Amino acid sequence: MNDKKLEILLVESVEIHRESMRRAFKSQNGRFELKVATSLREAKAYLADSTPALVIADLLLPDGRGTELLPLDNEPPRFPVVMISGQDGEREGVDMIKKGALDYVVKSQENLKCMPFAAERALREWHHLTELRQAEEALRLERDNLTNILDTMEDGVYVVDEKNEIQYLNPAIKKEFGPIRGRKCHDYFHDRGDTCLWCKNEEVFEGKTIRWEWISNKTRKTYDIINTPMINPDGGIWKLAILRDITEQKRTMEELKKANQEILKQQKTVIKEERLKVLHQMAGATAHELNQPLMVLLGNIELMAMNTENPEKLMQHTAKIEKAGERISQVVKKIQTIHHFETKPYPGETSIMKLDQKIRILSVENSDVDFDTLQDTVKEHHHVEFFRAGSIDEATQIMGQNRFDLIFLDGHLSHGDSLDLLMGMDNEGLKLPVVVLINQGDEMTAAHAIRAGAYEYLSKDKINAQSVARIIGNTLEKARLRREIEETRREMARLLQEK
């Protein structure tokens, strides 16, 4: 509880009135401390050094009027003032309150005895007014700070009320659209006499935030606009709009779009040319490989026609035809198993595709049994060559010295973690496809390996000729597609640089 007494300055020249009010305040259990001045001069001298909680002043004093203690029009009040007067004039009381008095009391024996209650009422009102002034000052400072922020923004900002009247424009808006001259928003921004058909105000006043693009007929610019509701000083809703000029951004995006279309067009041309080149080299390789067995086949057919009556020679020709047919069959199989683009020189300063391509596979496996099982599944495929590394260190060394098309990696090496090899390959920029071999039911290891960069996984209990052939084909095809995507990206980057 606050025991501090409230100091009240009583300015009264009539002694009987002073004593009446002194007795009334004394009866309030010491809550008030009364200071007395009998003239305007004494009151002013006291107030020059002190600020009481309340001033009670008689209207008519020997040396002036009590209203001289009221603050000037441009001066904030330091203390509340209650005026007292022996005249019962309503107009005079209203006039004193307009000048700054908090209350007006007509002198009477009963009113003077009740002055402590009038003082309590005045102090409560003063407290409320002080809180209100402080809140208004805080609001003004906050509004000034916000205005300063908005005034310095490069983006345009304006505020509109429910009547489409513009309450605020920042300098960026004025620079773009000019002075407001009392115009409403539809007139100021769009030269329209009435609300725009596309106006977003109604939705914003319902509490929605809306973002949209607008092309101004005045500035010939494109703006990204955010409209959002804001609370006005009266508690209602206004619209706060932020305009950002995105004209250059839109122009750049359009140029990039056109450039991308041109790049895609050139890319298609390049791909078409590359495909024709590959087809040309494939045709040359096919002709080269098939030429000899076809000559043998046709020659022996012709000789068979000449020796129809010689069974022994017919058998010899038949054997040679069969051998030539086998040779042609082998060439076809080679064409079907081509997995990367490789050429070899050919007479006439040209090159043809190399059909006799080998698939080189490195098996990182420390189990002899598992390695032999895997190798046995592909022993009939003569174009597949198997190599082995028993540890991660050995695999790293072998990969650094040889070219491989595919790696089979045991997910449970006894020396080292298979994930270390995958991360090491990624750090070194090795783009080799990896198939992880896992134990039955160990899909968790497979998941970790796939996240680390492996292409596929195969459970060891499902290793057979069909599953291994399938996974080799699928993995090599995935690798080929990734290489083509990477080459396309590089080509697009090159074309962008040339632009």
Phi and psi angles of residue 100, each rounded to the nearest 5 degrees, phi first: 130, -5
Contact 122, 79 (CB under 8 A): no
| Phi-psi category of residue 267: left, alpha or beta, with phi > 0 → left and psi -120 to 50 → alpha | alpha
Q: Where are the alpha helices (DSSP H) in 415-459?
A: 418-428, 443-452
CB 416 within 8 A of CB 391: yes
Give the CA count within 13 Å in the CB-facing half-sphere of 341: 12
Cα separation, 477 vs 490, whole angstroms: 20
DSSP state of 209: -
Query: What is the third-level CATH fold of 6-135?
Result: Rossmann fold (3.40.50)
Q: What is the pLDDT of residue 277?
A: 66
pLDDT in the model for residue 274: 65
User: Which 3 state secondary structure label does DSSP give 314?
Assistant: helix
Q: Does pTM surpass 0.75?
A: no
The domain locations on the chain are 6-135, 154-245, 250-353, 359-498
Question: Which residue in 290, 272, 292, 268 sits closest to 280, CA to CA?
Answer: 272
Contacts of 191 (CB under 8 A, 6+ apart): 217, 218
d(CA 84, CA 69): 13
Q: What is the mean pLDDT of each run of 10 residues along the chain (499 residues)?
A: 78 92 86 91 94 92 91 85 79 81 88 90 91 86 84 92 92 92 92 89 92 92 94 88 93 83 72 66 67 78 79 82 79 60 49 60 89 86 84 87 90 76 83 88 83 88 88 85 77 65
Q: By the 8 A CB rule, do 230 and 223 touch? A: no
Residues 406, 361 contacting (CB under 8 angstroms):
yes
CA 266 to CA 254: how far, in whole Å? 18
* Distance from C-alpha of 341 to C-alpha of 464, rounded to nearest angstrom: 28
Residues 6 or more apart whose CB falls under 8 angstroms from that of 255 comprise none
* pLDDT on residue 359: 84
Fold held by 359-498: Rossmann fold (3.40.50)
The CATH number of 154-245 is: 3.30.450.20
Q: Where are the alpha helices (DSSP H) in 377-442?
A: 392-401, 418-428
Q: Where are the beta strands (DSSP E) in 161-219?
A: 166-169, 210-215
pLDDT of residue 36: 93
How many beta carbons lie within 10 A of that of residue 126, not counting itself? 19
Asked if the 250-353 domain carries CATH number 3.40.50, the reply is no
Cβ atoms within 10 Å of 425's Cβ, excluding its own: 21
Cα separation of 271 and 268, whole Å? 5
Q: Do 359-498 and 6-135 fall under one CATH topology?
A: yes
The per-residue pLDDT for 29 is 78
